[in-house]
A and B are shown apart, each in its own frame.
Chain A
Amino acid sequence: EVQLVESGGGLVQPGGSLRLSCAASEFAFTYYSMNWVRQAPGKGLEWVSYISSSSSTIHYADSVKGRFTISRDNAKNSLYLQMNSLRAEDTAVYYCARLLGDITADYWGQGTLVTVSS
C-alpha cells in the first residue's frame, strides 16, 4: 500500500520559516510527480505547489510564490516544502499527494499542521 508520511509541522512566529518533509514508500517515487495541498482550519483544500518527477518542472500557487520552495530527493524517496516569510494565513494542515498520470492526486498523506502565530 502506498504510504506518504508528512512531518515538520509546528508552531512558528509570523515571518519565520519551516521545512516540511514527506517520506514516500511502497511505490516507485522516482517516477511520480507530486503536489503539496493545504487546508486551513475549517476551510477547503487549496493547491500549493507541484514538482515533476525529475524536478525539472515546478509551479506554485500565487499565494505562496516567492516564499515557498518545493524540492525532492529521489534517492531518499522524499519530498520537501521550504516555507519562508510565514504569515497567519499560512496556518493549515499541509498534505503531500502523489500524482497519477501527472494530473490526479490519487494518494495523500495524513497531513502535518503548521500554525503561524505570535
Chain B
Amino acid sequence: QSALTQPRSVSGSPGQSVTISCTGTSSDVGLYNYVSWYQQHPGKAPKLMIYDVNKWPSGVPDRFSGSKSGNTASLTISGVQAEDEADYYCCSYASRYTWVFGGGTKLTVL
C-alpha cells in the first residue's frame, strides 16, 4: 500500500482558486470513486471536506469541490479564505476494506 502522491505545499491569495492534486494508481484512485479529502488544522483532528470524489458533507462550503480523472483526483478551493489555511489529505479506498492516504499538502494563504 503506497501512499498517494500530493504536492507538499500550495499557496494562493485570498479570493484566488487553488487546486491540490492526488495521484494514485489503477488499484485505488483509478479503480474506485471513493476518494475523500480532509482538512486538518494544527493540533486538531481531520475534518471531512469531500467524499466519493465530489460530494459535500453537510456544513462544508461549496467553494470546496472535488474531481477525478484517471488515477488523479483533485481538490479545488474557489475563492480561498484565510481560514482555509491548513493541511489537506486525500484518501482513497483501496479494496478489501483497506485505505491509502496521501502525504498531505500544506495550503498557505498569502
Binding site for B on A (CB under 8 A): 35, 37, 44-47, 50, 52, 57, 59, 61-62, 95, 100, 103-111
Asked if B57 is at the interface (CB within 8 A of a chain A CB), the reply is yes
Least CB distance, B30 to chain A, in whole angstroms: 16
Cβ contact within 8 Å between A44 and B89: yes
Q: Which residue of A lies closest to B3 (CB)?
A: A44
- CA distance in complex: A51, B59 (Å): 27
Cβ contact within 8 Å between A109 and B97: no
Chain B: number of interface residues, binned into ranges:
20 to 34
Cβ contact within 8 Å between B48 and A106: yes
Asked if B64 is at the interface (CB within 8 A of a chain A CB), the reply is no
Q: Which residue of A lies closest to B57 (CB)?
A: A106
Q: Provide the residues of chain B in CB contact with A37, threshold 8 Å.
A: 46, 101
Cβ contact within 8 Å between B101 and A47: yes
Asked if B69 is at the interface (CB within 8 A of a chain A CB), the reply is no
- CA distance in complex: A35, B99 (Å): 10
For B48-73 the 0/1 string (1 means CB < 8 A from A) is 10011000010000000000000000
- CA distance in complex: A111, B46 (Å): 10
Contact of B45 among A35, A59, A95 (CB under 8 A): A95
Cβ contact within 8 Å between A62 and B48: no
- CA distance in complex: A68, B49 (Å): 29
Q: Provide the residues of chain A in CB contact with B48, threshold 8 Å.
A: 104-107
- CA distance in complex: A79, B13 (Å): 42
Given contacts A44-B3, A95-B46, A110-B44, 16 further A-B contacts (CB under 8 A): A44-B89, A44-B101, A45-B46, A45-B89, A45-B101, A47-B98, A47-B101, A57-B97, A59-B96, A103-B34, A103-B93, A104-B34, A104-B52, A105-B38, A106-B57, A111-B45
Q: Provide the residues of chain B in CB contact with A61, threshold 8 Å.
A: 1, 98
Cβ contacts A to B, 20 pairs, < 8 Å: A44-B89, A44-B101, A44-B104, A45-B46, A45-B89, A45-B91, A45-B101, A50-B99, A59-B97, A95-B45, A100-B51, A104-B48, A105-B36, A105-B48, A105-B91, A106-B48, A106-B51, A107-B48, A108-B46, A110-B44
